[in-house]
Amino acid sequence: MTEQATNTPIAKPKAPPSIVASTGFLGLNRKDATLLALVVVLTMLAPFILNPFPEGSGMAQFNAGYPDLMQRFVIFGIFAIGFNILFGLTGYLSFGHAAFLGVGSYAAIWMMKLVTLNIIPAIILSIIFAGLFALLVGFICLRRSGIYFSILTLAFAQMSYALAYSVLTPITGGETGLQIKATDRPILSGLEPGEIGRANFFGIDMRTSYELSLGDWLFTFNAGYYIAAVVMLLSFYLSIRIFRSPFGMMLRAVKSNQQRMSYTGLNSKPYTLAAFVISGMYAGLAGGLMVAMDTQVGPERMFWTASGEVVLMAILGGVGTLIGPVLGAGMIKYMENIISKINETILHQWFAFLPDGLEDFVVSMIYPFIGKGWHLTLGIVFMLVVIFLPGGLVEGGQKIAGLFRRKAKTDDTPSKTPAE
């Protein structure tokens, strides 16, 4: 462990799962197949799960089951899954992954403006462009490791942002970005004169929604969300396969001991570069999907805060775990969209039962953490997780599960020896 020491993530090392576990369904072992099945069920039922409160009730603003936010959950989930392939396995912390997201977005919107409004070619093009860009950036940045690698990727991302913001205005639309306009006539779309193009999946408009009203509850099933969710599930499946493959093992070896790796006859450079390109392609896929859901793109998508956000997602959820980054992405996007919507009036409503002076005091204490202050809440949550749950939300889940298991064991088998 020489220069790799700086790459060590915050998470504690855990014993990796056995590689010889039998493989069954879709080439996954039983534990992974169960996890995948669970994620399938959760994403498919998300419109119900995320809308637990009836419309019009005081708690309704905590509902997250509207299409726009659900789409963001799964798209940022893809982004974080890809980031985790690089950071979680090889330990190389990229601080410029938003650049690939942006490149994917620009590629997708040009495909839609010029060729077809079907989202599939646009998404494929976004993956290809992001992959090529990642190959170039990775080839240069991977000459260094540790903090120098992180700074190099950050520099690249900021250069990309600056290019998109000003120099490349003819291609990127500069500060205002790009949208699909009435003047855009994609050659394969057959639009009426003056009609504004809409992104579609073989004729299905992304914004098509079916609303189901059950009593006071309203559930929305959106075409765009389900397409993005299926893509997310495929990405998740692919990432499980990569994690459990010999290639995944080599990437963990890169993180563990590069010196031993080279004295074992392995060249760590192409392994790391391959991981970098794969994770860049995941970011491009996420960027393409963003454009598919909402046909516009601006340079702020490549800003360094966007790169930092995906790092937070991975660490918050659990670096190097399969499901962690998706959880982290969900948590951050939930806070960004829900906590930021709470305002002072709502706080006063909540605490109306308190005596006047006390109500004002409580509201003034909470006020900095809501609305635009949601970053403050995020920061506190992040600190608490890093200090008390270095393995992220996944470790929290495991601890809770462990508590129950231990309790169940001691309750069930009082005659035998208690659990260790």
Give the interface with other proteins as residue ranges (CB under 8 A).
Answer: 1, 13, 15-16, 18-20, 22-23, 27, 241-242, 244-250, 252-253, 255-257, 259-267, 270-271, 274, 278
Between 50 and 314, name the residue whose CB sits nearer to other proteins: 314
C-alpha 134: how far from chain center: 18
Q: Least Å distance between CB 321 and other proteins?
A: 14
Helix (H) / strand (E) containing 210: strand 209-214
Between 219 and 247, name the residue whose CB sits nearer to other proteins: 247
Partner residues linked to 213 by β-bridges: 218
Q: Residue length, the chain?
A: 420
Q: Least Å distance between CB 186 and other proteins?
A: 34
Q: Least Å distance between CB 90 and other proteins?
A: 11
Q: How deeply is 370 buried, as exposed, middle or buried, from its count of CB atoms within 10 A (0-12, 13-18, 19+)?
A: buried
Between 207 and 241, name the residue whose CB sits nearer to other proteins: 241
**Interatomic CA distance for residues 291 and 224, integer angstroms:** 11
Between 193 and 246, name the residue whose CB sits nearer to other proteins: 246
Cβ neighbours around 332 below 10 Å, total: 24
**Interatomic CA distance for residues 184 and 295, integer angstroms:** 12
Q: Least Å distance between CB 278 and other proteins?
A: 7
**Interatomic CA distance for residues 294 and 130, integer angstroms:** 19
Between 91 and 317, name the residue whose CB sits nearer to other proteins: 91
CA dihedral 78, 81, 85, 88 (to 10 degrees): 150
Angle at 354 between CA 350 and CA 357, to 5 degrees: 115
Q: Least Å distance between CB 244 and other proteins?
A: 7
**Interatomic CA distance for residues 275 and 386, integer angstroms:** 25
Q: Least Å distance between CB 19 and other proteins?
A: 5
C-alpha 103: how far from chain center: 17
Partner residues linked to 221 by β-bridges: 210
Q: How deeply is 371 buried, as exposed, middle or buried, from its count of CB atoms within 10 A (0-12, 13-18, 19+)?
A: middle
Between 240 and 331, name the residue whose CB sits nearer to other proteins: 240
Angle between the N-to-C axes of helices 374-388 and 304-317, in degrees from 0 to 180, rounded to the nearest 10: 40
Q: Least Å distance between CB 322 and other proteins?
A: 15
Between 72 and 255, name the residue whose CB sits nearer to other proteins: 255
Between 4 and 150, name the residue whose CB sits nearer to other proteins: 4
Q: Residue 80's closest CA among 271, 290, 322, 296?
A: 322
Q: Least Å distance between CB 269 and other proteins?
A: 8
Q: Least Å distance between CB 387 and other proteins?
A: 22
Between 267 and 345, name the residue whose CB sits nearer to other proteins: 267
Hunting for tokens 């119900």 — which residue is that?
48
The backbone torsions φ and ψ at residue 201, rounded to the nearest 5 degrees and listed phi first, read -115, 95
